[in-house]
């Protein structure tokens, strides 16, 4: 694609990067075939190619964003299926992230939009605040149908029926390996996940220590910054990301780390991009070092000796989170691990299409999100599985709100298959929906 940025514009690193991305696009349209919003809405401007034209025009002309451009950029899920499909290697993620930052700086959103985004940015990345918000949403859930704004209804309807107690396993500490030590790893405990489902980190710690990992929860680490990053709130996202970088850098300089383990794939895509995000900042060297050892939990488990399991006689429908299969290009590892553990793995039709969760997308674009959720649930249920597995808390919450089939994180099944407790979502299904609320002590 031909561009016409001025030398002055290209002095801005973000604009220079966007020009590089734009120049790789050849207008081929392959991306339209795998774009979820284009599949549903059928509007060229709701495809990656259409958004690229809008973003190019906005950036190239230093144009104040208009409502039309903002609407179509906001509708993008950032599922990154277009990056998997693109034969030219267009790095759409960096382009749309820049567009969102530009819009955040130059567009005056309606008051209700500004208020909603402000609330989400100041609640979701903070587990204690999020827990209080979930409690309030749980109380208000019966009144959701009376809410005039579809986004507020979505927030109330997405609130879980039960809120787990705080897990002290998420506190800064070190867990010793139960087998001969093979690796020393830092576990990213995250933010929203700590409020929504404490079982995932607990299962991850049990599984890794069982397989010979010393697991560190680093002092000072927390939210990866993805939620605010995808809202275009760069200063806020970089502030939280910088805390992680400093915390993990201290561990790397101390006793050393073989990997930073991430069990929420949306976070993993962002942490692996820290090197790019901080490339022109004082933490550039440390951020790049962090990015290089950041791994999804499935990548780490493939390096360890996961024992071959007996036939579990359970059919598992595997949902591939977009941030894992497109953002990190990890497609087979979770399925390979589940098969090795003895599960029968089923894959739904159109596994490349998003479930509609996409961070805060299901809260800010509830109508489109619901259509994607319904489609995803239908394809998963069509395989008639006993259980659904996924590698991202957002996908689990989204899909779980549309099906009665228990949904668990991949590591929960692997933990169970290698000696850990049965996943509580499965126990709840057996006990009429009542989840056991005890938090295991792992020390």
Q: Which two tokens stand for residue 152?
A: 């507020």
**Tens of pLDDT, residues 54-70:** 999 999 999 999 999 99
**What does the DSSP assignment read for 102-135?**
HHHHH----HHHHHHHHHHHHHTT-HHHHHHHHH
Among the listed residues 186, 303, 204, the one whose alpha carbon sits nearest the alpha carbon of residue 255: 186
- pLDDT value of residue 158: 75
Q: For the chain, what are the domain ranges?
A: 9-106, 113-158, 168-301, 306-431
pLDDT of residue 274: 97
CATH fold for domain 168-301 = Rossmann fold (3.40.50)
Average pLDDT value for the chain: 93
Query: What is residue 312's predicted lDDT score, i.e. its pLDDT?
Result: 81
The pLDDT value recorded for residue 433 is 59
Q: What is the pLDDT of residues 144-163, one digit of tens each?
A: 777 777 887 777 777 777 88
CATH no., domain 9-106: 1.10.1060.10
For 306-431, CATH number?
3.40.50.1860
Sign of CA dihedral 265, 202, 376, 160: negative
Token readout for 274 is: 């820290």
The fraction of the chain above a pLDDT of 70, given in percent, is 97
Return all residues near 176 (Cβ < 8 A) that are at least 6 apart: 209, 214
Query: pTM here?
Result: 0.92
Give per-residue pLDDT as tens, 197-212.
999 999 999 999 999 9
Place of tokens 């159109």: 350
Long-range Cβ contacts of 141-149 (<8 Å, 24+ apart) = 149/112
User: What tokens appear for 98 in the block?
Assistant: 């820049």
Q: Give the dihedral of Cα atoms 90, 92, 98, 103; nearest 10 deg.
A: 130
Higher-pLDDT residue of 252 and 145 is: 252
Mean pLDDT for the stretch of residues 302-306: 93
- 442 — pLDDT class (breaks 50, 70, 90): low
pLDDT value at residue 437: 53
3-state secondary structure of 94: helix
Q: How far is CA 48 from the centre of its chain?
A: 20
CA distances from 439 to 81, 164, 363, 424 (A): 37, 9, 29, 11
Do 168-301 and 306-431 fold alike per CATH? yes
Sign of the dihedral defined by the CA atoms of residues 127, 133, 138, 142, in that order: negative
Bridge-partner residues for 183, per DSSP? 213
Nearest to 274 by CA among 241, 227, 313: 241
């Amino acid at each position: 694609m031909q561009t016409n940025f001025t030398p002055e514009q290209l002095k801005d690193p973000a604009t220079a990067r966007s020009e590089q991305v734009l120049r790789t696009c050849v207008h081929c349209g392959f991306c339209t075939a795998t774009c979820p919003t284009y599949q549903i809405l059928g509007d060229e401007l709701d495809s990656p190619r259409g958004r690229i034209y809008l973003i190019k025009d906005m950036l190239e002309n230093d144009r104040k964003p208009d409502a039309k451009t903002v609407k179509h950029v906001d509708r993008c899920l950032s599922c990154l299926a277009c990056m998997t499909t693109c034969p030219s290697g267009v790095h759409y993620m960096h382009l749309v992230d820049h567009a969102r930052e530009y819009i955040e700086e130059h567009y005056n959103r309606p008051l209700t939009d500004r208020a909603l985004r402000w609330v989400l940015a100041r609640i979701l990345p903070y587990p204690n605040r999020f827990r209080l918000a979930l409690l309030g949403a749980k109380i208000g859930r019966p009144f959701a149908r009376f809410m005039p704004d579809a986004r507020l209804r979505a927030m109330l309807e997405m609130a879980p029926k039960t809120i787990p107690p705080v897990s002290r396993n998420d506190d800064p500490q070190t867990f010793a390996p139960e087998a001969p030590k093979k690796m020393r790893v830092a576990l990213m405990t995250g933010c929203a996940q700590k409020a929504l489902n404490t079982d995932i980190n607990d299962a991850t710690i049990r599984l890794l220590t069982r397989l010979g990992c010393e697991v560190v929860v680093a002092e000072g680490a927390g939210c990866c910054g993805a939620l605010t990053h995808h809202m275009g709130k760069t200063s806020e996202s970089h502030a939280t990301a910088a805390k992680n970088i400093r915390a993990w850098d201290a561990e790397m300089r101390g006793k050393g780390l073989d990997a930073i383990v991430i069990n929420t794939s949306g976070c993993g895509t962002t942490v692996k991009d820290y090197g790019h995000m901080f490339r022109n900042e004082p933490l550039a060297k440390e951020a790049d070092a962090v990015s290089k050892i950041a791994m999804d939990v499935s990548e780490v488990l493939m390096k360890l000796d996961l024992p071959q399991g007996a036939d579990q006689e359970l059919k598992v429908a595997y949902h591939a989170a977009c941030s894992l299969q497109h953002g990190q290009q990890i497609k087979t590892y979770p399925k390979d691990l589940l098969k090795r553990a003895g599960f029968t793995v089923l894959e739904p039709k159109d596994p490349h299409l998003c479930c509609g969760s996409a961070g805060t997308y299901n809260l800010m674009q509830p109508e489109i999100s619901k259509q994607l959720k319904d489609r995803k649930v239908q394809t998963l249920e069509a395989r008639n599985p006993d259980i659904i597995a996924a590698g991202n808390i957002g996908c689990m919450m989204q899909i779980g709100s549309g099906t009665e089939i228990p949904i668990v994180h991949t590591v929960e099944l692997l933990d169970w298959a290698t000696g850990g407790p049965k996943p509580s979502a499965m126990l709840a299904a057996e006990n009429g929906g009542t989840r056991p609320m005890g938090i295991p002590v792992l020390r």
